[in-house]
Copies of this chain bind each other. A is one copy, B any other.
Amino acid sequence: MSALPSAPADADSLFHALADPTRRDIVTRAMHGEHSVSALAGHYPMSFAAVQKHVAVLERATLVTKERRGREHLVRTNIDAVRAVAQVLDDYETVWRDRMDRFADVLASRQEGERS
């Protein structure tokens, strides 16, 4: 569907980036619209530098991108990276489901055996 403007980062960076409530909140805000780093910083009880670091972590994980507009750097969520993480989890789900199916097969063939 969408082109790949930046290949998603490794699972390590992605999960680590999402393992912080401030960063998850930034991802949510940056989905609803563009925000400068200082606009974002205004929402959190910490220094601008701290928020800037959080944005940098998200950027390294490809979860957000920054576009320079004048002296501001607008932060935007990269939904493809979110989807990449979801994909990892869906893969787990698939593995689980396959295993359940095989398990059901074994049970079924056992019942066949008992019946005959």
Enumerate chain A interface residues (CB-CB to B < 8 A): 11-12, 15-16, 18-21, 24, 27-28, 31-32, 77, 79, 82-83, 85-86, 89-90, 92-93, 95-96, 99
Copies of the polypeptide in the assembly: 2
CB distance from A9 to the nearest CB of B (A): 12
Contact check, A31 vs B79: say whether CB atoms are below 8 A apart.
no
Contact of A16 among B19, B79, B83 (CB under 8 A): B19
Q: Indicate if the CB atoms of B89 and A93 lie closer than 8 Å.
A: no
Question: Chain A at the B interface: mostly helix, strand, loop or mixed?
Answer: helix
Report which of B12, B15, B93 forms a contact with A79, defined as CB distance below 8 A.
Answer: B93
Q: Which of B12, B20, B28, B99 is close to A21, meaning CB atoms less than 8 Å apart?
A: B12
